[in-house]
Amino acid sequence: MKNTSSDCTEILVGKAASMDGSTIVARNEEVMVQSIRLSLLFMKQKIKRMLSMFQ
């Protein structure tokens, strides 16, 4: 697959900005190819479950 674009979000909170003085780092990354593969895997599992009902 050629489409390997990705999006990410990162949130950084410094000691002075948090209530208890802790530093917080949060990151989310969405890779298009990985998302497509996971969707196909879940669809395949769902189809298998549906077909097993008719056996």
What is the residue-averaged pLDDT of the chain? 78
Average pLDDT of the segment spanning 23-45: 77
Q: Angle at the Cα of 45 (from 1 to 54), degrees rounded to 5?
A: 135
pTM of the model: 0.42
pLDDT at 13: 92
At position 48, the amino acid (one-letter code) is K
Name the residue ranges covered by the structural domains of the chain.
6-52
Average pLDDT of the segment spanning 8-37: 82
Average pLDDT of the segment spanning 27-41: 72
Determine the Cα–Cα distance for residues 2 and 48; give it in Å rounded to an integer: 28
pLDDT at 8: 78
Answer for the pair 22, 15: CB distance below 8 angstroms, yes or no: yes
pLDDT at 16: 93
Residue labelled with tokens 């948090």: 18
Token pair listed for 9? 């979000």
